[in-house]
Every structure is written in C-alpha cells, then in structure tokens.
Amino acid sequence: MSNKMSLQEQFDRQQQDYQSRLSQLVTPPVLSSSTQSTMPTSQLLEEPQPQQQLQPVHTNLPTRVTKGRYSINDFQLIRTLGTGSFGRVHLVRSVHNGRFYAMKVFRKRQVVKAKQVEHTNDERRILSVLQHPFITRMWGTFQDCKSIFLIMDYIEGGELFSLLRRSRTFPNQVAKFYAAEVLLALEYLHSKNIIYRDLKPENILLARSGHIKLTDFGFAKEVDSKTYTLCGTPDYIAPEVIAVQPYNKAVDWWSFGILIYEMLAGITPFYDSSPIKTYENITKCEISFPAHFQKDAVELLGGLIKKDVTFRLGNLQNGVEDIKDHTWFKEVVWETLLLGNIETPYEPNIPSGVGDSSQFERYPEEDYDYGVTDLQDEFGYLFPDF
C-alpha cells in the first residue's frame, strides 16, 4: 500500500514537472463536440495549378528553375504555424487557387550541418508516394539558393499535443479513438516497408473534422528489414534504438504504446527531465501504471512496451492483427474507421472558416529571404529532387 502511495506521489510530481516544462495553453479542457459551422473536411481536393496569367502577390524575386512545379512566387506567406530544427512551417495561400497550404521550409545549411541531408531527401521521397486518410498529403516541392520547400495540406485543428495538454489526460474512449486512427496510419506505412520512427502527440495533427493526420516524416525510412540510425524523441525511443542495435518496424509499436500511455496518464512512462535519465529508465523498462488505467489497457501496453522485441505485440507472427484484435480495441470496426465514418470525439473550434489558424501558437515572424536565386547555391546538388 505504502509502495503504491509513493508511486502515485512520484507520478503526480512528475506530472507537475512535465506540465510546467511543457509550458503554455490556458484554454479549459475541450473534449465536447464543437457546434461550429461544418465546412467540408478538406479544401484541397485538387492540386494547386500554377497559372501563368496570375501575378504573384508575395515577392518579385526571380524564380529558380527547379524540378518542382512551384516556386515561392506561387504562394503568399500568412504566418508561422510551427518551428522545427531546420526551419519553420508557414501557413501559405496559393495565389492561383486561393487555397491554404502548409509550407515546410528547411534551411539547406542547417540541414547539412546537422547531417540530415539523407533524412530530408527521404522525407520528400516518402511523402510523395503516400496517400492515406490519416496522413498529411504533400503536393509539391521546390528550392531556392538557401532553402528547400515542401507544400502540404494545411491541417487546421492543431496538434494532438495541444489538445492533450489542455485536457491533461484523455478518457479511455477518446484515447482509443486516436490510437485506432494512428494504428491504421502505421499499418499503412509498414505495408509500404516504411518505419515512421517519430511517433508523438506533436506529430499528430487534427483535421477540421477531428480525424487525425500524421505529419513530419523527417525520420521516416524505407527499409526491407533492419536499420541502425539513432533517431526519435527521447521519451518515445525504443530500447533497441538506444542500445544501437539493428532494429525494425517494431520500434513504431513501442512508441505506439508510449503514445497510448501518455494519452491516458498525461505523462510518458519513462519521463525524466534529463534525457539521459529517460534513456536509463527506458533501458530498465520498469513500468508502473496509474490506478485508473483499465485492465485491458494495462495488458495491451504491457505487450507493446516490451523490451524484448521478439515478444513485442505487433512484431509477432500475426503482426498488427494481434494489436487490432486486442480486447482494448474490441469496439473498433476497423473498416468503418478507415472510411472516416465514425463520429470523432472532438471537433476543433475553427471560428473564422477556411485558413483559420487559431489552433496554432503564435511565433515571432522574421524577414524571410525566401526566393533568393542570385547567390551561390552551395548545397543545391545535395537536394537534386526538390
């Protein structure tokens, strides 16, 4: 009993620590359906078509000729949606069809410095072949002397991360809904021999309809069997990756277990404010479950968050079917879910219609030097397909 108390105390302390580290978000819990106007779930049914007769509104800089069909002149910058290690993601509007897109920008120099050239080219190549209802779609790419650009669907509902922080934890049914959609996205990726390698709530966006869209394929990798690279996000990394052993798709099922745990508990199971300690915790793999976890959730998580990969759920003879058939998912009709015919637990509040970005945090804007073509393009040869 006393052991249980201290576990709970430890859990609460970690939770507080985690919440403060993860900053922000003052809005009250939001898990009821919004009654906002029902726009079509996607405004982006057709690919944006550059039309020569329309004048760009953003910049008059000359356009670098690239393999991509677009240039910065085809888009008007609206605001920053998020920042990443090598650049930022902007909300942009096509000057041709007036539709909104997310434009992910990588600074070539930073990508090269961080030795991420291969990952960046992989991200473009992988996104170009993916078409799935729960995965963000990419429409095109281009580059200038300093940056490379990916044009993607704009997903208006913000990050699942923000929703989870506002709600602190998700009720079992809500966590199950998001987990089930993520599972279908991972199943699709694995069927194409792609390991995602960066599952976490920050990379799960919510569409206007409330369905998920997986984004950020910066660590995704096409592999026949095993790979080696150390990558991912500390709390979500599988022990075999930390141990620098060859690993396979099972790393995504480990992270899937961590994601479910975090949605139910509001904190990841091996959390520590020091990443090194987090790695140690992962390697030890001593996991404790808060008292409110349901029995079948504990059982499922015990199967997914399993150090020995040969016994990990999703990596056994029946593959993903073992997870889909687990009792925690017993109400899920997978075929219906894939068709998007299931009511979502939460519809993001998007008050001002198409192009609304109120679900995203504000970031300071800068003077962007996009579209520069008259400087030496030192690194362009490393990104031949953009």
Q: Which residues are annotated as a binding site?
A: 104
Is there binding between residue 153 and ligand ATP (CB under 6 A)? yes
Is the Cβ of residue 17 or residue 202 nearer to ligand ATP in the bound state? 202
Q: Which of 17, 202, 222, 299 binds ligand ATP (CB under 6 A)?
A: 202
Least separation in angstroms between residue 171's CB and ligand ATP is: 24
Q: Which of 74, 122, 144, 198 is catalytic?
A: 198
Task: Say if strands 87-94 and 221-222 run parallel, antiparallel, or are unpaired.
Answer: unpaired
CB of 149 to ligand ATP, least distance (A): 13
234 binds ligand ATP (CB under 6 A): no
Give yes or no for residue 103 binding ligand ATP (CB under 6 A).
no
Residue showing the smallest CB distance to ligand ATP in the complex: 84
Residue 175 vs 199, nearer CB to ligand ATP? 199
Residue 85: CB minimum distance to ligand ATP, A: 4
Q: How far is CA 115 from CA 108, 118, 121, 373, in A?
A: 11, 8, 12, 24
Specify binding-site residues for ATP.
Answer: 104
Which one among 76, 97, 120, 136 touches ligand ATP, defined by CB under 6 A?
Answer: 136
User: Is 198 a known active-site residue?
Assistant: yes
Instruction: Using CB under 6 A, pick the residue from 152, 164, 264, 323 that binds ligand ATP.
Output: 152
216 counts as binding ligand ATP under rule CB under 6 A: yes
Q: Which is nearer to ligand ATP, 66 or 359 (CB)?
A: 359
Q: Is 84 in the site for ligand ATP (CB under 6 A)?
A: yes
Cβ neighbours, 10 Å, residue 187: 19
Is 104 near ligand ATP (CB under 6 A)?
Answer: yes
- When binding is defined by CB under 6 A, the residue of 159, 187, 262, 356 that contacts ligand ATP is 159
358 binds ligand ATP (CB under 6 A): no
Q: Does 154 bind ligand ATP (CB under 6 A)?
A: yes
Does 85 interact with ligand ATP (rule: CB under 6 A)?
Answer: yes
Sites of contact with ligand ATP (CB under 6 A)? 81-82, 84-86, 89, 102, 104, 136, 152-155, 159, 202-203, 205, 215-216, 218
As annotated, the active-site residues are: 198
